[in-house]
């Protein structure tokens, strides 16, 4: 009897030549607490380009060849015996990040507790653009930072996928927002809600901004260290891009060697932070269906609006990843799996 297969976008090895491309994979089977989803759209994230390089190999575990992608939207076609919230025909969205499998496939297995009903006012493309960026912003601003009305939060790269969502969430909370962007996007990020916008091509943000309570580290490079100088004593730096710290290693139950490595990686930023009475922490997003359901209410009330830069068909997934890697997307890049 012939095994049923599906098309998936995979990488075969880590490194400079990961052999990205399409493969026929076995049709997935589900466990008792899982749902099988016919995937309609997949939102891409920068980490999708980083995983095949091997940079996260000590932290994220895949069996190669592995399917790429984390975010998805689609229709439930089967449910496990213990699933109670969903039934076949339901439209859902979810992140399956950190599950050892990916979403860039015709079908995906999603644990019930990671899924939420797709916001009724959004299409599949809009819904697929949201899980990772919305959960990251939610966990950083509401859990880790405990952002309060009238506090000031700096969210660099305001026109990017995470920035465009985080600005809107911070404004909904009632905070004041500072950001950076290029001259062509200054008016646009102001429209999203940014109160102070610095054109990074003509100004250094650390020479312009001051009196901030929180920095959300959304870009790689020296921005994190420079952001120390715009924070008030007692301020918080929450980085999404590193350096990784020992607290993260402990949370992941990593071995003593990796704990030591991450401690060394973050030693400088932690030392600089302590000198100015600040705290530094690295945040690694976790999938969470309950939080997505809360975020869905904000989306249905149009307190936050998805920002889509470009949509690619499944056949052009490699081009979509290359476009995202260029670093100039205004909002999210999405791949449509079903027409």
pLDDT at position 152, please?
Answer: 98
Q: Judge if 176 and 52 occupy the same domain.
A: no
Is 68 domain-assigned? Answer: yes
Total Cβ atoms within 10 A of residue 207: 11
Greatest extent of the chain over all pairs of C-alpha atoms, in Å: 68
Q: Beta partners for 335?
A: 42, 312
Q: Give the CATH number, domain containing residue 94.
A: 3.90.180.10
* Model pTM score: 0.94
What is the pLDDT at residue 197? Answer: 95
Assess whether 158 and 264 both reside in one domain.
Answer: yes
pLDDT of residue 174: 97
In tens digits, what is the pLDDT along the chain, a chain of 339 residues?
Answer: 557 999 999 999 999 999 999 999 999 999 999 999 999 999 999 999 999 999 889 889 899 999 999 999 999 999 999 999 999 999 999 999 999 999 999 999 999 999 999 999 999 999 999 999 999 999 999 999 999 999 999 999 998 899 999 999 999 999 999 999 998 888 999 999 999 999 998 999 999 999 999 999 888 778 889 999 999 999 999 999 878 888 888 888 888 888 888 888 888 998 999 999 999 999 999 999 999 999 999 999 999 999 999 999 999 999 999 999 998 889 999 999 987
Say what the pLDDT of residue 284 is.
92
pLDDT given for residue 202 in this prediction? 92
Residues 231 and 97 in one domain: no
- Are 107 and 221 found together in one domain? no
Q: Within this chain, do residues 68 and 147 fall inside the same structural domain, yes or no?
A: no
287 in any annotated domain: no
Distance CA 154, CA 224 (A): 11
- Residue 78 belongs to what H/E stretch? strand 71-79
Instruction: Specify whether 108 is located in the same domain as 189.
Output: no
Number of domains observed in the structure of the chain: 2
Residues 6+ apart with CB under 8 A from 291: 135, 138, 139
The answer to whether residue 123 is domain-embedded is: yes
What is the phi/psi pair of residue 286, to 5°? -120, 135
Assess whether 115 and 145 both reside in one domain. no
> Looking at the domain assignment, is residue 28 inside a domain?
yes
Are residue 231 and residue 253 in the same domain, yes or no? yes
| CATH code of the domain containing 175 | 3.40.50.720
Q: Confirm whether 242 is domain-assigned.
A: yes
Shared domain for 218 and 139, answered yes or no, is yes
Interacting residues of 13 by C-beta distance below 8 A, sequence separation 6+ = 19, 64
List C-alpha distances in Å: 318 to 104, 156, 322. 11, 27, 6
- 319, 224: one domain: no
- Asked whether residue 293 is assigned to any structural domain, the reply reads no
| pLDDT for position 328 | 84
Contact 159, 185 (CB under 8 A): yes
- Domain extent, residue 81, equals 5-130+306-336
């Amino acid at each position: 009897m012939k095994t049923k297969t599906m098309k998936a976008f995979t990488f075969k090895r880590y490194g400079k030549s990961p052999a990205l491309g399409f493969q026929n994979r076995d049709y997935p089977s589900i466990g008792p607490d899982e749902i099988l989803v016919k995937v309609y759209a997949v939102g891409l994230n920068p980490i999708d380009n980083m995983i095949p390089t091997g940079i996260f190999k000590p932290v994220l575990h895949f069996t190669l060849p592995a399917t790429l992608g984390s975010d998805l939207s689609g229709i439930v076609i089967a449910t496990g015996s213990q699933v109670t919230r969903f039934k076949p025909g339901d439209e859902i969205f979810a992140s399956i990040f950190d599950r050892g499998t990916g979403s860039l496939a015709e079908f995906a297995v999603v644990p019930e507790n990671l899924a939420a009903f797709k916001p009724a006012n959004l299409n599949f493309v809009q819904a697929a653009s949201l899980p990772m960026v919305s959960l990251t912003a939610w966990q950083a601003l509401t859990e880790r930072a405990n952002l309060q009305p009238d506090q000031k939060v700096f969210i660099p790269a305001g026109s990017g996928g995470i920035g465009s969502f985080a600005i809107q969430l911070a404004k909904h909370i009632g905070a004041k927002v500072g950001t950076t962007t290029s001259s062509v996007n200054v008016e646009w990020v102001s429209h999203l809600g940014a109160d102070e916008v610095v054109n990074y091509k003509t100004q250094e943000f650390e020479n312009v901004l001051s009196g901030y309570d929180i920095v959300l580290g959304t870009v790689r490079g020296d921005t994190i260290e420079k952001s120390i100088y715009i924070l008030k004593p007692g301020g918080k730096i929450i980085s999404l891009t590193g350096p990784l710290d020992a607290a993260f290693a402990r949370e992941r139950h990593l071995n003593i060697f990796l704990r030591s490595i991450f401690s060394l990686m973050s030693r400088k930023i932690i030392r600089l932070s302590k000198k100015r009475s600040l705290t530094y922490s690295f945040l690694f997003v976790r999938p969470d269906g309950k939080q997505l359901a809360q975020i869905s209410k904000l989306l249905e009330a149009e307190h936050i609006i998805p920002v889509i830069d470009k949509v690619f068909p499944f056949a052009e997934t490699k081009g979509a990843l290359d476009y995202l890697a260029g670093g100039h997307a205004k909002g999210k890049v999405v791949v449509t799996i079903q027409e």
